[in-house]
Structures are given as structure tokens and as C-alpha cells.
Chains A and B, each alone.
Chain A
Amino acid sequence: MSKTRLATIWLDGCSGCHMSLLDTDERLLDLVAKADIVYSPIVDTKEFPENVDVTLVEGAISSDEDLEKIIEVRSKTRVLIAFGDCGVSGNVPAMRNPHGPSPILRRVYIENADVQQQVPGEVVPALLDRVRPIQDVVPVDLHLPGCPPSANLIYDALTELLNGKAVDLAGRFRFG
């Protein structure tokens, strides 16, 4: 049996969920014994590959780039996991939603800038009007909440998934 093809991707989040994945420490070896990490901020692949079995998606959908990526990831992934509170509910990135992107951009790039006071129009991806949780944009197969999800929860859920078991998180996770 060929190994599971596992990918992880980082959208609008703080990378804390990826840190928590690394916090599984030596158990990472157990995971990579069952799965090849084919795409991730922690491996060198530049293009999201085809035929991925499981993708962990950290972060909410906040920019036009996030939107493009998540649509591509969904089309190439069998089991898509919303990895952490940002992907699950919008969490901290979505705290701008009551105000919209303009006041935030103005605050960061104009009011708080000492030089070059201008909102960037190139290179930096344009912000969407609303930050959305992943399931608002594409179907999600499993939600793994937590800010970040604990290393134990990540390890247990991934192990159950890789062993073909149904993952029931009741009583095992916590938002925040």
C-alpha cells in the first residue's frame, strides 16, 4: 500500500497551528512513517501537487490569494481539514469583519507609518471585504479547532484518520 500523501498550507493565520504540529516532536516520525508530506511551509515544494489525500489548512480566507489557493487545494485534495480556529471560524483575522478592510489598512499603512504612508496596491494580495472561514468558501471534511489545536489532538486526529477511523472530537478539543 502506498503512503498517504499529506499536505499542509498556511493561509491567514499566525503559523501557530504549524508550530503545534511541530510540537508533536518525535511523534512526527510516526506520522511520516504513514504519510509523505508532499507540500507544506516546512518542505521545499513550490507548487501544490495533484492527488493529495489529506490537507491541513491553517488560517482563514482573507485575501484574493487565499481564495485562489483554497480553491486549488480543494480541487486537488481528498480530505480537507480546517486546521485551527482561524480556518474553522475566522477567529482573530475575522475580527476586522465588523469594520471592513479599509479602516484597518488606513490604520496600519497610513496612521501608524512614519514613512511612505500609502496602502500597498501591488505585490501584497488585496484583502477581501470579509474574512471567511474555509467552509464558507469550499467544503471542509473535518474541523480541528483550537488556537492552536494541541499537539496531542493533532497527532491523535491525524493518526485516527491515517488508520482509516472516523474522527469524533467531542470532549477532546477546545476553541481558543
Chain B
Amino acid sequence: MPRVSAAPAQKTERRSALEQRIMLRIDGEYITTDPGKTILEVARETGIDIPTLCAVPGLTSVGACRLCLIEVKGNQRLLPACTVKVEGGMVVSTRSERLDKYRRMILELLFTERNHVCAVCVSSGACELQDLATQLGVTHAPFEFRNPNLPVDASHERFIEDPNRCILCTRCVRICREVEGANTWEVGGRGINSNIIADLAEPWGGSLSCTSCGKCVQICPTGALAVKGRATGEMTKRAWNVTDLNRMRGART
């Protein structure tokens, strides 16, 4: 009788891949997934929505906006779903009274930090900050408005940078570095004085590194970066093309 041959190598590999799969619970739902993914990625694959402002599929996650904070059972601290990797046996809650409270507070602080005047903003109607306020029921901010005096940079031929509408999500910084490779944008200053700067805090229009590709403009969640000459509510963006750009280049998405 011929001996049963050992399982082909391919099969073994598949089995070990299967053995590596991990199981966790998000909002009570049992989910089997591959390790190495973030909680945000797995939640979105499962159809569970977690609000975010800084995370963009295809760009490095930095946990800047803190809106994706979630609760993990056994951990007193809230963790950002966009940077924390899934682990077997994790029990994750993406909605709770505590999380709702903090998410609303984050938006309230964003609205009071700079001058977000939706009524006169180019991105009104296509703004992720405005949409989240609606979604999370942030009808007002119980803090004093700072109303800082921040100069607009209109030196670029085609685009305009208005720091009054910036939430420091750093999407522009990351897309410029990771997709365009130009490294024009960076965060300058510290704490409350942090700001997005071009090159060494020079006028954008004079930047030697900027290729004028406009990716930062398309990825900006608010009206902070916009195409010049747009009136109120005329600036719609094509943020999610980035994922396709990376796919076309064969990069990790």
C-alpha cells in the first residue's frame, strides 16, 4: 500500500496562517482576523464605524485627533483605535457614554481653539469636522472661544492655506512626505502655538520643495487647505483617492 504522502508544503503554510488568525470582540461581535492590523482597520472591515479626523487608509497613523479612542476591557486608559494593533482575546467597545463624552469634548475644543466659521468657509457642506459635529450632536462648545489672530497664507499660485480652519490632524504633513515625497509641510511651534508650516516656516508660494501636486489640499478634512478662488461651500475634496494612488504604486495600504 502506498504510504500517504506528507501534506504538501502549501497546505502547511495555509494551516499555519490559519493558526495565526486571532479572535477578538468589538462591540459584542466576535471577529476573526489577521494579526498586525489596527483596531480601526478591523472595525471598519466589520462595518463598525469609529469617528476619525486624522486617520487615512494608506497613510501612517499618528493618533493626532483622538476621536477614535476606544475602551479595551481590563485597561483603564482609553486607546486610539488607529494606532493600537488587535490582539487575541481583546474585548473592545467603540461606543459608551464615556467615549461619547470625550469625543464631543474633543470637537468642542477644536471648535474653540481656532476660528471655525462654517458660514463663510469654502468647505462648508464638505467638511469632516462639520459633519462630525452633526453626527455626534455637538450643537455648541461650552468653552470660551480663543479667536486667535492667525494670518492666512495666500502666496501659492493655486492654493490657499488658512490656519484658522486647521485642526492639526497632520494629514497634509503625512501625505506630502509619504505619497508625494516632497516633505514640504511640517508642524512648527509647540503646544497651543503649533502650526502647519511650509519648509522652514516660509510662504507656501516660495517653497522650493512643493511640487504643487495638491494632494494636501484634497486630503485636508476642513477648509484649511483649499483651491484658490472658491467661494463659501464650493470646495469639495477627493480625499480617498490616496488609497488608490498607493495601490497603483504597489505600496502598502
- Contact of A59 with B by CB under 8 A: no
* Bitwise interface map of B from 132 to 143 toward A, beta carbon under 8 Å scored 1, else 0: 011111011110
Pick the contact of A175 from B130, B136, B142, B145 — CB < 8 Å?
Answer: B130
Chain A neighbourhood of B125, CB < 8 A: 174, 176
Is B139 within 8 A of A173, CB to CB? yes
Is B140 within 8 A of A174, CB to CB? no
Is A133 within 8 A of B118, CB to CB? no
Chain A neighbourhood of B233, CB < 8 A: 176
- Contact of B148 with A by CB under 8 A: yes
- Contact of B46 with A by CB under 8 A: no
Chain A neighbourhood of B120, CB < 8 A: 92, 95
**Are A85 and B118 CB-contacts (below 8 A) given A173-B134, A175-B130?**
yes
Cα(A90)–Cα(B118), bound, Å: 11
- Contact of A76 with B by CB under 8 A: no
Chain A neighbourhood of B119, CB < 8 A: 85, 91-92, 147, 175-176
Is B139 within 8 A of A174, CB to CB? no
Is B137 within 8 A of A171, CB to CB? yes
CB proximity to B under 8 Å, residues A125-145: 130, 133, 135-136, 140, 143-145
Chain B neighbourhood of A82, CB < 8 A: 140
What's the minimum C-beta distance from B213 to chain A, rounded to whole angstroms? 29
Count of A-B residue pairs with CB < 8 Å = 77
Pick the contact of A170 from B115, B124, B135, B147 — CB < 8 Å?
Answer: B135
Chain B neighbourhood of A168, CB < 8 A: 137
Cα(A90)–Cα(B142), bound, Å: 13
- Contact of A97 with B by CB under 8 A: yes
Cα(A145)–Cα(B117), bound, Å: 12
Chain A neighbourhood of B139, CB < 8 A: 88, 143-145, 169, 173
Pick the contact of B147 from A98, A147, A172 — CB < 8 Å?
Answer: A98
- Contact of A78 with B by CB under 8 A: no
Is B147 within 8 A of A130, CB to CB? yes
Is B144 within 8 A of A136, CB to CB? yes
**Are A90 and B145 CB-contacts (below 8 A) given A82-B140, A95-B115?**
yes
- Contact of B111 with A by CB under 8 A: yes
Is A176 within 8 A of B121, CB to CB? yes
Chain B neighbourhood of A97, CB < 8 A: 145, 147
Cα(A174)–Cα(B128), bound, Å: 12
Is B137 within 8 A of A94, CB to CB? no
Cα(A2)–Cα(B144), bound, Å: 39
Chain A neighbourhood of B10, CB < 8 A: none
Chain B neighbourhood of A176, CB < 8 A: 117-119, 121, 124-125, 130, 233
CB proximity to A under 8 Å, residues B88-136: 111, 115-121, 124-125, 130, 133-136
- Contact of B5 with A by CB under 8 A: no
- Contact of B149 with A by CB under 8 A: yes
Question: Which residues of A line the B interface, CB within 8 A?
Answer: 82, 85, 88-92, 94-95, 97-99, 130, 133, 135-136, 140, 143-145, 147, 168-176
A-B contact pairs, 12 of them (CB 8 A): A82-B140, A89-B141, A98-B149, A133-B140, A172-B134, A174-B130, A174-B134, A175-B124, A175-B130, A176-B119, A176-B130, A176-B233
- Beyond contacts A90-B145, A145-B140, A174-B125: 15 other A-B pairs, Cβ-Cβ < 8 A, are A91-B119, A95-B120, A97-B147, A98-B150, A133-B145, A140-B140, A169-B139, A171-B137, A172-B134, A173-B139, A174-B130, A174-B134, A175-B118, A175-B119, A176-B130
Closest 9 CB pairs of A and B: A176-B118, A170-B137, A98-B149, A97-B147, A147-B119, A175-B118, A143-B140, A143-B139, A176-B124
